[in-house]
Amino acid sequence: MTAETSLVPTWPELVIPTLHVLEPGESIQRRSIFDAVAARIQLSSEAQAELLKSGGSRFEQRLGWTLSHMYRANWVTRPERGFYRITETGHEALKVHAAGMDFSSAHKIFSPFWADDSANETPSAPAIEIEEISDPIETIESAVARIEHTVGQELLERLRGSHPDFFEQAVVDLLLKMGYGGAAQRGRRIGGSNDEGVDGLIDQDALGLDQVYIQAKRYKEGNNVGREAIQAFVGALHGFGATRGVFLTTSSFTHGAVSYAEKIPSRIVLIDGTRLVDLMITYRVGVQEKQRFSAVEVDEDYFE
């Protein structure tokens, strides 16, 4: 799920609920604040389960950024490691902004407190601004997602324009990279005039007792795979005495094809063009890593 379609409130929307949680004036542990805010805004289980691409909780990341802004503005203080307490300034802010915040108002309120960080920047460096995405980590992940979307579109074009033999080998390479076929990489392209309706085969064990059959269709966008093609693949599987297969295409599947695959006893996994290139990017098949980024945070244990 992308940040744009997230069920988690944005960090400006979390400011007032967080102040309400801290309003009694006690020092509250960070983890307890997360739990209390989630309960106060009735955060759904689906929203709580949302993860960043890096694996962290989206809600916790956004609330952490909320606390960081409020600390900068002296709305909260940190009396000891991992604990927060509301200040008099925070109490006043709660009264003034009781109706809540959006990105525009939050930017006006909090951006001055980051001015010291940008004061020593070179003239060509951009001033720090509060992005209309939750925080810097999500900003980076959003940018990476845009890059991957562009690369994915190019991958699809390349695959659609490739030779059928190349495409069949590419999908075998992908499944092997995903871990199918074991450490020995037991997989091969079958394709050709005598393929008997199967383009590739993966042996899950050394004796070939557990096998996965592959069908690959290199179709243009809009030329979707229909039910008849899935039926033909199932028939080919029965000819091999198999019950499991993966059908991959550079286009998509009709509703009839998807419905048929879901109802039959044989286990048929359908992978359309969008998912295909997502998997290729994730497992680095047909792409290479151009640049790596890392983010740091203060090691609280070091300062104990």
Among 124-138, 147-161, 192-206, the minimum mean pLDDT is found in: 124-138
- For the chain, what is the domain count? 2
Q: What is the mean pLDDT of the segment spanning 268-295?
A: 90
pLDDT tens digits for range 235-257: 999 888 888 899 999 999 999 99
Query: Would strands 211-217 and 244-249 be described as parallel, antiparallel, or unpaired?
Result: parallel
pLDDT of 53: 78
pLDDT tens digits for range 79-112: 988 899 999 999 999 999 999 999 889 988 998 8
pLDDT tens digits for range 25-84: 999 999 999 999 999 999 999 999 998 877 789 999 899 989 989 999 999 999 988 899
How far apart (Å, rounded) are the C-alpha atoms in residues 187 and 167?
A: 15
Q: Name the more confident of 129 and 13.
A: 13
Let me know: does 264 contact 245? Beta carbons within 8 Å.
no
Q: Is residue 155 part of a domain?
A: no
The alpha carbon of residue 233 and the mean position of all alpha carbons in its chain are separated, in whole angstroms, by 32
How far apart (Å, rounded) are the C-alpha atoms in residues 170 and 176?
A: 10
pLDDT of 76: 96
How far apart (Å, rounded) are the C-alpha atoms in residues 293 and 270?
A: 33
How far apart (Å, rounded) are the C-alpha atoms in residues 45 and 202?
A: 38
Q: What is the mean pLDDT of the segment spanning 154-173?
A: 93
- Last residue of some domain: 92, 114, 134? 134
CATH number (domain holding residue 273): 3.40.1350.10
Verify that 201 and 258 share a domain, yes or no: yes
Strands (E), 47-117: 76-77, 83-86
Nearest in space to 171 (alpha carbons), one of 187, 183, 151: 187
The alpha carbon of residue 289 and the mean position of all alpha carbons in its chain are separated, in whole angstroms, by 17
Boundaries of domain holding 125: 3-134
* Average pLDDT of the chain to the nearest whole number: 86
Q: Is residue 211 part of a domain?
A: yes
Verify that 50 and 171 share a domain, yes or no: no
CATH number (domain holding residue 101): 1.10.10
Q: Is residue 303 part of a domain?
A: no
pLDDT of 303: 64
Whether residue 20 has pLDDT greater than 70: yes
